[in-house]
Structures are given as structure tokens and as C-alpha cells.
Structure 1
Amino acid sequence: MTILSHWSNKDRVNYGSEIQTFSHGLQRSGLFTDEALADLLDRHPSHLIDVCTMSDDPEFPSKHCTVDPAGATGAELVEAAKSGAIWINIREAMNRDSAYRPWLEQAYTELEDKTGERARKRNRRGGILISSPAAKVPYHCDPTQTLLWHIRGRKRVFVYPATQEFLPDEAYEAIVLGERDQDVPYRAEFDESAQVFDLPDDILVCWPHTSPHRVENQGFCVSMVMECTTRNSAVRNGTLYFNGLIRRHFGASPSWDKSGPIERFAKSLAGHVLRKLGAHRAHVREDFVRFRLDPGKPSVLAPVPAYIRNF
């Protein structure tokens, strides 16, 4: 089985430094039909399934709020995504489930052959997103190297420059320290600098590491998100982790842009050591549930008194 095609030498050179799109063949696996996804949801560990809806937070438009899906079957969750306003992330489905794992491994093999960039095997993950026609993903940045393999539906993706204007160091530090999820403060005028892609079925889109992005569905959508750690992403994350700690604890004003490769390498080593020692534990945020899904009425989300997620 071959998943990727039409990859040129120019694409190889530009990978990781430019936004790129490619055709892929994941849909022909038969693993992304409604029925296959419902079966997957029924057997996947519940703590690795996120069901969310969108909030109206003015600073973080469309910020995701956790929904309790207790009692819903896989088929009911798929129906809820079709008729309601929810976003489902089946985390690590592609690397944990035996039916999906060969396709993820093949995708990584082909991508590494075409780009020459190796991902660390222990950090290779693939989640499956099932989302409503009304679903949106807020303006955010992924700390991992992330590729969006869109499979079914119409999806509009906005990708922004990875500069201080769109992603200040302090915002990225908050992400790697765990102070907040991956959301970044957004202003409507940012869209003037975005590259916008309307994705049909079976399109892979990839962008430089740390490029902020957001998504607006144009219909019911199914996608796979590939996440991995590369040498470049590991250095940046370790450095910004270290910078975040010294900014918070010692009032320092470090800068990624003004640092050189030797400084970044040294800070990255120190950051990874401090992470292993648990220096970030005081900063880890908690996930609050704010809605409950009614299995009998898949389009209905009932507000509940906020409580810390326990499932």
C-alpha cells in the first residue's frame, strides 16, 4: 500500500519551512467510515477520547470546553458529531489500535523517505478527529511537529506566520509549561496575514513547527492528526521550557529569536533535565467538564456545574 504520491525534490527541500499540501490515500483503508469509527469509539480507552464543544470566550474564540459523553455509544457519538456542535478527538487511536497502526507506520515510513527527516519512534502518535459541521478549532499552536491528514468533508484551515506578533515567546512558554492548553490569544486582524486552505477529501497539509493555526468546518469532517518529535522541535521546546521557568521564577527576559544555536542547545538540555525533575508540576492546568451529552438527543448539550474531569 502506498499512501503519499506526487512529492517532488522541491517539496523535499521546502518541507518544514513552508506550508505544503499533498494528496493521500488513507480513506481507501475503509477505517474512516461512520461504522468503523463507531466501532473504534466503543473499544478505545475512554480516557483517551475527548469530546468538546466551543465556548464564546472573547480572548480565545471557539475555545474548546470538555463534554461528558457518559452513556453514549460509538454510533451515538458519531451521530452527535453529525447533528450537533461537538469535536471528538480519539487520541492515539492510530498508534494504539491494531487495525489502524499499520497505516500510521506506513505514513511515517513514506514521509521520512520523502523528507529525509526522522521522527523519534517513542513519540510517534496519530489521533482521529470527528467533528460537526459547526465545529471550529481555536487559534492555537502545537508543541509537537504536527501534520493534518484530512480524510472526509470540507474543512477550511488558516495558517499564520510563526513570528513574535502571532506567537509571542511568553504564549509558547505557557503551552510547554502546561499552564494552558494550546490556545493562543487571537485578534481578527491576524487573518490578513493567514494562508487559507479549503481542504477536500484526502489532502495532507503541513506547516513549519509552531505556526499558529485555526480551523473552521464547512461540513461533517473526519481527519487524522499526526504528532511527533523531531530534533528541531525538541530543541525549541526544551529551550522555551527553560526560558519560561527563568522568566517566571527569576524575572528574566529571554528571547528565542535573539539566541544563537549554542545557547539554544545548552538551554534545551537544561530544559529537558528540569522537565524530567518535575519543575513544571506547579504549572499544570486542570481540565474542567462544563457540559453533558444527552445520548437520546445527540444535538443537545446540557450545561452542568463545572467539575474536574474524572474519566
Structure 2
Amino acid sequence: MDQPLLSFEALAKAALELPPQYVERRISNAVNGGEFAMDRLDDADAATVIRSINTSGNWVMLRFVEQLSAYSGLLDRLMDQIGPSISPSTGPGLTIRGFIFISSPGTLTPFHFDCEYNILFQIAGDKHFATYQPIPPWLPLDRHEAYYSAGNNMLPWNDAYEAEANIHQLRPGDALFIPYASPHWVKAGAEPSISLSITWQSAWSQSVGAAMQINPLLRRCGFPTGDLPAWPKAPKWRSLGCRVARKAGLL
């Protein structure tokens, strides 16, 4: 993707334009199963870190870049192109969000899951992107449910998982679709990396999220929670129950 908005310099400027709470700087030497910690070792701003990403030893994420009009337009154009392809697999896209990742060489993004659909575009550098099915043992049900109360999407790691990964080798110009809640870890190559993720929800994923949120309450009350249905079948009753529980202040 030859796009001036996604150059290192343009992203350094975007980091200064975004509200600070949407610019994250993390360590590059995380490990699977460990903490993906924020890096606050010095006072360098994110723009400086991005400009020196080859040697800074950092991973920088720009969250919700659609807040900036130029990037909002970029996301709109991309969704116009990919929308007809994704709808048969996910339903119409809702709540479109944009994330840009700028990674130092060798950065590991530890094992985790995201409760959205995602298409990742590799812009610069290369990555090994390892994916797993969104089922146990890789995605334990309790972790999936807990995400909707605590917001923690990191996952426990077992060294045996490495051999079970589906490894995608991404180079500039490649794109990868990551299904809803698919566990994954990502390793940047020998050069600085830039990736753009477009994420979205669907009516189905929102209903699954509602089911995951109400499951613990149903279990405490002695009611069955049922299995997680495969798309396009939705957990309609649990989704409805979640809305009722929210209104009643039970969630």
C-alpha cells in the first residue's frame, strides 16, 4: 500500500495530533504469557520514538486514528473496497476503528485476543503472524468472559502452542483477516515495521459479547450458559438477557 499517511514521518506527526491517551508506547522485548508493559523509561515523546524506531526498542500503537480526518478518509476508502468481501463472512461492518502499529525490529506482541474482526495491512517491514482457533485451550472460556468485565485480553501461554500455530508471513503489501476473538501473537522481522489494522464489529459479534458478559451471572443463578454458537447463529436469548440485566443494574 503506497500511502503517504503511513510513512514513518507522517505517523510521527499523527502521534502528536492524537490525544495522548490514544498513543501507547510499550516495550519490544515482551514474551508470550508475560506482561506487555508500557515503556516509561525516559521522557521522549512518541513522535521521537517513532522517528528512531530502528533503535528505540519500542512498539508504538496509535489507537482510533479515525479521529484524525485524513485517516478517517483513508479508512472509509478501504472499507468501501473490502466491505463487499467481508459482509458474507461477518455481516455488515459496525463500529469501524483504525489502529496503526510501529514496531522496532524483533518486537514480539504477546499472545492475546481481540473481540473484534480485524484486517491487518502490512505497510513496511515484515512480520510473522501466528493465529489459533478461538476455542480452548488457546482461548479459555473464563478469559473470554472476563474480557467483558475487566478488559484484559492477554492469554496464558504454553510452549506447546508454538508448534500448533498457523504462521502467516507478512511482507509489505500483504493483508491478513483475523476472525473475531482469534488468539494470536506477532513477531516483527529484522527491519522496523508498520502495520495498519481496521477492526469492526457485527451484529453477531455484539451478541456474542453480550452472551459472554452475562454468562457468569447466569452460572451464579444456576442457569445454563450453553455453547458459543458458530456464525451466523447468534445467542439471541443471552444477548437479550444481557440488555435486561444492564438496565436492571446487575451488570
Corresponding position of 1:198? 169
- 1:163 equivalent in alignment to 2:135: yes
Corresponding position of 2:14? 40
Question: Matched residues in 1 for 2:222 and 2:58: separation?
Answer: 40
For structure 2, the residue ranges without an aligned partner over 5 or more in a row are none
Please state whether the residue corresponding to 1:174 is helix, strand or coil. helix
1:110-189 aligned within 5 A = 110-116=81-87, 117-120=91-94, 123-178=95-150, 180-189=151-160
Corresponding position of 2:72? 101
Question: Matched residues in 2 for 1:151 and 1:41: separation?
Answer: 17
Q: 1:30 to 1:259 in 2, by over 3 A?
A: closer
| Partners of 1:144 and 1:209 within 8 A in 2 | yes
Q: 1:165 to 1:205 in 2, by over 3 A?
A: same
Q: 1:124 to 1:257 in 2, by over 3 A?
A: closer
| Partners of 1:240 and 1:256 within 8 A in 2 | no
Which residue identity is paired with 1:234? Q
The number of residues matched between the two structures is 247
Offset of residue 112 of structure 1:
1.4
Question: Matched residues in 1 for 2:41 and 2:246: separation?
Answer: 33
Question: Matched residues in 1 for 2:146 and 2:19: separation?
Answer: 28
Q: 1:270 aligns with which of 204, 216, 241?
A: 241
Q: 2:201 aligns with which of 229, 253, 263?
A: 229
| Partners of 2:22 and 2:62 within 8 A in 1 | yes
Please state whether the residue corresponding to 2:39 is helix, strand or coil. strand
| Partners of 1:54 and 1:86 within 8 A in 2 | yes
Question: Matched residues in 1 for 2:163 and 2:141: separation?
Answer: 21
Offset of residue 41 of structure 1:
1.1
Deviations 1:40-59 (A, max 9, x none): 111111011111115767x7
Normalised by the length of structure 2, the TM-score is 0.87
Q: 1:48 to 1:277 in 2, by over 3 A?
A: farther
Which residue identity is paired with 1:193? E
Question: Matched residues in 2 for 1:96 and 1:193: separation?
Answer: 38
Question: Matched residues in 2 for 1:127 and 1:56: separation?
Answer: 20
The percent identity for this pair of structures is 22
Corresponding position of 1:15? none
Corresponding position of 1:60? 33
Which residue identity is paired with 2:15? L
Which residue identity is paired with 1:184? L
Corresponding position of 1:5? none
Please state whether the residue corresponding to 1:65 is helix, strand or coil. coil
Which residue identity is paired with 2:165? A
| Partners of 2:128 and 2:168 within 8 A in 1 | yes
Question: Matched residues in 1 for 2:177 and 2:206: separation?
Answer: 18
Offset of residue 80 of structure 1:
4.5
Corresponding position of 1:9? none
1:279-290 aligned within 5 A = 279-280=250-251
Q: 2:24 aligns with which of 31, 45, 50?
A: 50
Question: Matched residues in 2 for 1:196 and 1:109: separation?
Answer: 28
Which residue identity is paired with 2:24? D
| Partners of 1:169 and 1:256 within 8 A in 2 | no
Q: 1:47 to 1:168 in 2, by over 3 A?
A: same
